[in-house]
Amino acid sequence: MTDHELDPLPYEYDALEPHISEQVLTWHHDTHHQGYVNGWNSAEETLEQNRESGEFDTSGSALRNVTHNGCGHILHDLFWQNMSPDGGDDASGALADRIEEDFGSYEGWKGEFEAAAGNASGWALLVYDSFSNQLQNVVVDKHDQGALWGSHPILALDVWEHSYYYDYGPARGDFVDAFFEVVDWEEPNARYEQATQLFE
C-alpha cells in the first residue's frame, strides 16, 4: 500500500500576503489538506485489510473515500504549486499560445474560468483534455464531481469557503481576483507541456 504524505508548502506561510493570509494558508494546508491525506491512507488501509480477509462489506464506501480524499489531496497539491510570491503575470509560453488558440484570447479564457470559479462548489480547473486534444475549463463540485475523463489538470483554484472566507468573507470574486495576483504561470506551463508530450 502506498503511504501518501503531505508535502510542505513550496513557500513560506506568509509568502502570498496580502492576497492570501498566513493564517488561511496555515489552516488550509496543515489541517484541511492533511485531513485528505489521512482519509486517503485510511481508505487504502481498509481496502487492503478487506482484500486480505475476503470481507468486502466496507469496500464500497472505502472506494468512495479513495476518490474523494485522493482527489482532494491531488488538487490541493496542484493549487499550492500553481501559486508563488513571484506570480501575478498573464499566461506565457506554449500554454499562453494554446489558450489563445482554444479560447480565442486570454481574456476569453479568463472570463470563462472566473465564471467556473463563481459556479463551482469546490474547484475551477483549467485542464488539458487528451480525448479532444484541447484545453477546457471545468467546474468541479467537491473534489470529484464534474471531472472530465481523460483530462489533466493544469491550473487549479480552490473555491471552497475555507479557502477565502477568513480573508474575504462572502466576496468570492475578490478572492478569485487575488488568486490571479499570485498565479505563477511557469508551473502550469510546464504541466501543460508535460501533458501534451504524452498525448499529442
104 is written with which cell numbers?
A: 480565442
CB-based contact 110:123 (threshold 8 Å): no
200 is written with which cell numbers?
A: 499529442
Stated as kind and residue range, the H or E segment containing 154 is: strand 151-158
In this structure, the strands spanning 151-158 and 134-141 are unpaired
Say whether 28 counts as a known binding-site residue: yes
List, edge to edge, every strand of the sheet that includes 134-141. Answer: 134-141, 122-129, 151-158
Q: d(Cα 159, Cα 77) in Å, to the nearest integer?
A: 15
By C-alpha distance, which of 30, 35, 26, 46 is closest to 68?
Answer: 35
Say whether 158 counts as a known binding-site residue: yes
DSSP code of residue 162: G
In the annotated binding site, the residues are 28, 76, 158, 162
Question: Which residues are documented as binding site for Mn(2+)?
Answer: 28, 76, 158, 162
